Amino acid sequence: MPHSYTVRIHDRRTNHIRTVKVPDDRYILQTAETQGVALPFACRNGACTTCAVRVLSGDLYQPEAMGLSPKLQQRGYALLCVSYPRSDLEVETQDEDEVYELQFGRYFGKGKIKVGLPLDED
C-alpha cells in the first residue's frame, strides 16, 4: 500500500503556498492538479524546465527527469511532472528561464553565432 507524504509548494508566481498529500507512487504535479492546485507545466514528461522547483527540504525520486542535468539535480532542482515524494517535502517553483540559464547558459552565453556558408540546395 502506498505511503502518502505532505508536499508544501511555494508558487513564486502567485506567492501562495499550497499543501498537498501525495502518495509515493504518484507524480507530484499530477496529484497536485487533482487536488485543485494549478502549477506551471508544459511537456509533462521531464524534458523541459517549466515545472522546475528547488527542493528546500525533504527527498524525492525523479528517474525520468531528462530536462535537468545530474549536476542541477544534485544542487536540489527537480521537475514536479516526473517526481515522486520520498518524504515530506517543501519546494519552491522556479522561473523556467533561470533554470534553463543555469543548465545551458555556458553554451549560449559566448556571443553571436557565426554564420557559415549557405547550405547547398538540390
Structure confidence by residue, pLDDT tens digits, 27-68: 999 999 999 999 999 999 999 889 999 999 999 999 999 989
Residue 30 C-alpha cell reads as 499530477
Tens digit of pLDDT for each residue in 69-95? 999 999 999 999 999 999 999 999 988
> Strand order in 77-79's β-sheet?
16-23, 4-11, 89-93, 52-57, 77-79
Tell me, what's the pLDDT at 106? 60
Reply yes or no on whether the pLDDT at 121 is more than 70.
no
Tell me, what's the pLDDT at 75? 93
Tell me, what's the pLDDT at 44? 92
Q: How many CB atoms lie within 10 A of CB 77?
A: 23
Q: What are phi and psi of 49, to 5 degrees?
A: -120, 15
Residue with cell string 504518484: 26
Alpha-helix runs per DSSP H in 1-122: 28-34, 70-74, 96-108
Of 28-37, 97-106, 107-116, minimum mean pLDDT range: 107-116
Output the CA angle 13-44-102, nearest 5 degrees: 55
CATH number corresponding to 4-106: 3.10.20.30
Domain map (residue ranges) of the chain? 4-106
Tens digit of pLDDT for each residue in 3-18? 999 999 999 989 999 9
| Average pLDDT of the segment spanning 103-115 | 59
> pTM for this one?
0.82
